[in-house]
Amino acid sequence: MMRRTTLLTGCTALALALGATACGGGPVTPAGGGDKALAGQTVTVAGVWTGSEQKNFQKVLDAFSAKTGAKTQFVSTGDNVSTVVGSKIEGGNAPDVVMVPQVGVLQQFAQKGWLQPLSTTARQTIGADFASVWKNYGSVDGTLYGLYFKAAHKSTVWYSPDALAQAGVEPPKTYDEMLKAGHTVSDSGLAAFAVAGQDGWTLTDWFENIYLSQAGPEKYDALAAHKLKWTDASVVKALTTLGKLFKDKQLIAGGQKEALNTDFPGSVEKVFGPEPKAGMVYEGDFVAGVAHDQFGRTIGQDADFFAFPAVDGGSAPVVSGGDAAVVLKDGKNAKAGMKLLEYLATPEAAAVWAKAGGFLSPNKKLDLASYGDDVTRATAKSLVAAGDSVRFDMSDQAPAAFGGTKGAGEWKLLQDFLGDPSDPKATADRLEAAAAKAYQG
């Protein structure tokens, strides 16, 4: 049985590897300029990026080539990084550098012994230029493997400045102020919030922001690692706080039932679409992208954000995500790969993508003037200013069965909670039951 399983895995790996090489080969960048220390070597980089993200990252790689003379090749892995990279390693065709999109994946790679610890230079840069929280999220068992090159800011509440001006309210500073402002917006005839209840992940983000601010970073970490049970009083309290918003018909566009029928793009449309139905929508910095690309809003003018407000006297939460660069042991040019990583750690590299847009860097040394527009600059500033209080998206740290599956686990239970927020205690019990099952498996 064991041998057959291996055979099967081998076949799948082969198929995947073939598929990946067939469709994922990016253009090989020619060398030019710089000191040419790495001339003649090709660094292969794998990552989830496609489309404009891939294009912009290529600009960073081009800058690296210009500097060092090394050729670079970007391979897009699609959503499932760990499967593709795993099969490439088995097939003896490992990329040199991988951009991993989740903390869990980085840990998984490190535990399998695929990763090379970062060089002294890279370690020093990260130690000096990054908040130590990024170092921690890049380390496994005390060894630093990953450099967070690109980050996401998930504590931004986006609003239509027109709607708030019409209602005569200012961006709030606390959660209670936000609910009060919401009521005023609702008095003006527009619902306060568009909630994307059909996409469970937006609800987990709501919860994580409230929990991080209300219960504090220590408890947040404990809950993320499931060292703290979901039945803890702090969870019930956060759910009650969230329920205050969820159960208020005046605060949610169309009430709970309509919220459960709204997906994420739909919720952005409710605020920034041609027929606004709500004044505010909470989600990460990528809301700006949707508002701009799909609904033609000028960011900073027709769409702006305020930081997710502090809850119950806590400090304002900064929930984040990001892509970390790691170097694989099995890469053919792992040494050149490490050089690329050292380059990515510099503000110079971050500035290249920052100029192109759609990018936040956790690097403290990056000049904020590098960002293309004021709103991105403000998000970046808030992210860097948060320093060590930044926390990674909790559901991304959890096993997929709990934190990342449509119609199951945390997604489903928070959707049920949105439908009926009357009993936070029971929801906490159910969350614990689901978490216990997923973390043990």
Partner 1 sequence: MTATTLAKEAGSAPVASAGRARRTRRRGRIIAVLFVLPALLLLGALVVYPVVFSVGRSFFDASGTRFVGGDNYTEMFRDPATLKAIRNTTIWVVVAPALLTGLGLILAVLVEKVRWATAFKLLLFMPMAVSFLAAGIIFRLAYDEDPDKGVLNAAVVSVHDAFAGTSSYPTARAREGQGLIHGADGSYRTGTGVSPGDSVTLGLVGVLPKDLPAGAGPAYAAAGRSAAPDEVRGVVYLDFTPGGGGRQGEVDRRESGLPEMKVEAVRDGRTVASTTTASDGSFRFPGLASGAYTVELPESNFAPPYQGVSWLGRTLVTPAIIGAYLWIWTGFAMVLIGAGLSTLPRDALEAARMDGANEWQIFRRITVPLLAPVLTVVFVTLVINVMKVFDLVYIIAPGPVQEDATVLATQMWLVSFGGGNNQGLGSALGVLLLLLVIPAMVFNVRRFRRSQR
Contact positions vs partner 1 (CB under 8 A): 1, 5, 165-169, 184, 186-190, 197-200, 250, 257-258, 260-261, 400-401, 404-409, 411-412, 415-416, 419, 441
Q: Smaller CB distance to partner 1: residue 222 or 401?
A: 401
Q: How far is the CB of 189 from partner 1 (least distance, A)?
A: 3
Q: Smaller CB distance to partner 1: residue 197 or 331?
A: 197
Q: Smaller CB distance to partner 1: residue 173 or 437?
A: 437
Q: How far is the CB of 275 from partner 1 (least distance, A)?
A: 9
**DSSP code per residue over 334-377:** HHHHHHHHHHHTSHHHHHHHHHHSS-B---TTS-GGGSSSHHHH
* Alpha carbon separation from 377 to 8, 66, 129, 365, 383 (Å, rounded): 49, 27, 18, 14, 10
In a 13 Å sphere around the CA of 143, the CA atoms on its Cβ side amount to 13
Q: How far is the CB of 96 from partner 1 (least distance, A)?
A: 29
Q: How far is the CB of 124 from partner 1 (least distance, A)?
A: 39
Which residue bears the tokens 């005839």?
189
Q: Smaller CB distance to partner 1: residue 123 or 244?
A: 244
Q: How far is the CB of 341 from partner 1 (least distance, A)?
A: 31
Map residue 175 onto helix, strand or coil. Answer: helix
Contacts of 36 (CB under 8 A, 6+ apart): 68, 69
Q: Smaller CB distance to partner 1: residue 109 or 134?
A: 109
Most distant CA pair in the chain: distance in Å? Answer: 70
Token readout for 322 is: 């990001």
CB 330 within 8 A of CB 114: yes
Q: How far is the CB of 72 from partner 1 (least distance, A)?
A: 34
Q: Smaller CB distance to partner 1: residue 170 or 388?
A: 170
CB 417 within 8 A of CB 243: yes
